[in-house]
Amino acid sequence: MDTVAGAVTTKCFKNLRGNLKATQTAFYFAEIIDKLTEDREPHKEIFELLENSLEHLDGKKNDLLISYFEFNFLAETGFHPELNKCISCSKKLEEAGNFFSFESGGLMCKNCRHDIGHSISSEAIKVLRLFLQHRISVIDKLKTENNLSKEIRQITRGYLKHTSGKELKSEGYLYE
């Protein structure tokens, strides 16, 4: 067993201390990483995702930050969802009538659904694609209605829960 003998703060997220919601979100991010990654397994991309998310959380309020973190965390840990074609038949997706399958790890067309998958709007698909293609600053440029933010949260949270198979304790504090 290793023993930590000392530590030096390289970045201090001052605004997190005075903001309960931001602190709860930071704990949620930390719990995701703690529960869903292996000890002693370095993962530079996940560290950078966490660092960028904490910087963002320290300075700005954005309803899409949690979803951005969850979706990109899953992509970095090998659960990159298929968002460009039907995961089942590989055909190009129609503009409407698509479904996100947690079980299959991506989008399904209406012909392949077979009672699995969650209905997803074309707007939500576009936002999820942007999450995976761009840096975290993209969430500041997106203007989403409350319903769209809620739909995206349901998809990212559901995909994280299904993929991990774990309940995260800190998640309960985020939506009280």
Average pLDDT, the chain: 90
- 14-174 — its CATH code? 1.20.1440.120
Q: Which of 24, 31, 33 lies closest to 74, judged by CA?
A: 33
Percent of the chain whose predicted confidence (pLDDT) is above 90 = 65
Q: What is the pTM of this model?
A: 0.90
Mean pLDDT is lowest, of 22-36, 82-96, 105-119, for 105-119
Instruction: Render 148-174 in DSSP notation, one character per residue.
Output: HHHHHHHHHHHHHHHHH----TTHHHH
- Please report which residue ranges of the chain form alpha helices under DSSP H: 14-17, 20-36, 44-59, 65-76, 122-133, 138-141, 146-164, 171-174
pLDDT at 92 > cutoff 70: yes
Q: Which of 71, 66, 43 lies closest to 54, judged by CA?
A: 66
Question: Residue 120's Cα: distance from chain center in Å?
Answer: 16
33-82 pLDDT, tens digit per residue, is 999 998 888 899 999 999 999 999 988 777 899 999 999 999 999 999 99
Q: Where are the domains of the chain?
A: 14-174
Cα–Cα distance measured from residue 148 to residue 123, given in angstroms and rounded to the nearest whole number = 8
> What is the pLDDT, as a whole number, of residue 175?
65
Cα–Cα distance measured from residue 68 to residue 59, given in angstroms and rounded to the nearest whole number = 16
Sequence length of the chain is 176
Give 118's strand partners: 100
Q: Are 68 and 136 a contacting pair, CB within 8 Å?
A: yes
